[in-house]
Amino acid sequence: MGDEPRMKLPDSVSDLLKEAESSLAAYPKLLDMFIKCYPNTLETTTKLLKDQSAFVITGDIPAMWLRDSSAQVRHYLPLAKGDGELQRLIEGLIRRQIAYIHIDPYANAFNEEANDNRYDQDLTELDAWVWERKYEIDSLCYPIQLAFLYWKETGNKGIFDDSFRSAVHTIIALWKTEQRHAEQSPYRFARIDCPPSDTLRNNRMGMPVNYTGMTWSGFRPSDDACTFGYLIPSNMFAVVVLRYIEEIAAEVWDDAEIVRLAAELREEIDYGIQTYGTYIHPKYGKIYAYETDGFGNHNLMDDANVPSLLSIPYLGYTNFDDPLYQNTRKFVLSVDNPFYQEGKFAKGIGSPHTPVGYIWPISLAMQALTAQDDAEIHELLDMLQRTDADTGYMHEGFDPDNPSSYTRPWFAWANSLFGELLYRLMGRGFFNKG
């Protein structure tokens, strides 16, 4: 992990790590991994700035993703109510995320300063603040989700200021524009001399889509280009987040207009998911597709990155027992999903973003977070312990036949999700069952 600066841990986090020493006493390897992974975001990726905002890098890339930064701190939310330090950090992060959305709502990753640092000189509208401008629906969902869940945990409404309300208007307007991408969208993106997954076809617009009510996405949460422009898990996330916006607008702002706009858009997107986003599979029955174009083409797969089809109950779109989710889960956790892999040390979902055959710890943690069966959870915990390459940390992807071959030694999102999994399991007494 190198010599990154380590901030002093908030008291609530230190107390939890002490508590884990007894909760996980019978599981020394899991305890070691939890003690390393749970505080990793705070210790290595977080910087409180002079303006009281917070900049949270993704790990081994010196930029802040709207998605990753939200996911990296989500597991701290249950501790935030009684911890002023955590509140300052999370509120500071939300403030910075909202400021970034005002700078460019189509961008996915940003710089700490307006320094023109970026991944590549892409053919799109560039800004000195923007590290990368791949438009992904989930980039706009995550900060709203973080703010809503933070409010629910702490009762603090101060984050929902005029700037936040203005960003909500921006997000709703953008999603409405992207319901009619070809006719109305100003967004264009291309990257030169790169794999096809890093750029958009069709004169930088992506392949044609039909109107469905869903909102278009250029890229997936993996930062890979969508095959078809309607990314179902991300549209599901938008439905959940629009419901959050309705509640914020009604209870905090008393703003009937935002309630109306959010509810109308939510209904249209949800109708599109249910009408165009499903597929009758000969083996699994009716399932959710990963992507569609609204012309009858479907991409049947799942990717480890969240939002994913596997993560549907975690996102809050529907519950575990929903028959459509059950069918979809069986499909994505099978060899019929082209990115499901089985090897000597693990089996699970990977991503076209990493080498062929790799599995992602994020998908193993998400499978456990959405599982109802204790035996399945134990099996996944065993896999996670077997595949850390004896580092105590999660990685981006690994070879299930040789876990010492992995990508991204410092990937804070994966560490946080693993920390969230163990925290939830400890909270329900999972490790006391023997």
Given pLDDT bands bounded at 50, 70 and 90, which one contains residue 1?
A: very low
Write out pLDDT tens, residues 115-171.
999 999 999 999 999 999 999 999 999 999 999 999 999 999 999 999 999 999 999
Write out pLDDT tens, residues 39-82.
999 999 999 999 999 999 999 899 999 999 999 999 999 999 99
Read off the pLDDT of each residue in 11-23 and give the average, rounded to a whole number.
Answer: 97
- Identify the structural domains of the chain with CATH numbers, from first to last: 11-432 (1.50.10.10)
pTM, two decimals, is 0.97
Backbone angles phi, psi at 277, to 5 degrees: -95, 5
Q: Across the chain, what does the average pLDDT equal?
A: 97
Q: State how far the alpha carbon of 408 is from the alpha carbons of 299, 393, 397, 414, in Å.
A: 27, 11, 8, 10
Given pLDDT bands bounded at 50, 70 and 90, which one contains residue 433?
A: confident
- pLDDT value of position 6: 55
Residue 2 has pLDDT above 70, yes or no: no
Write out pLDDT tens, residues 237-257.
999 999 999 999 999 999 999
**In terms of DSSP H, where are the helices of 185-287?**
201-204, 232-248, 256-276
- pLDDT value of position 3: 40
Integer Cα distance of 388 and 394 in angstroms: 6
Q: How far apart are the first and last CA of the chain?
A: 34
Give 347's strand partners: 342
Read off the pLDDT of each residue in 294-305 and give the average, rounded to a whole number.
Answer: 98
State the burial class of residue 193 (Cβ atoms within 10 Å of its Cβ: 0-12, 13-18, 19+). Answer: exposed
SS3 251: helix
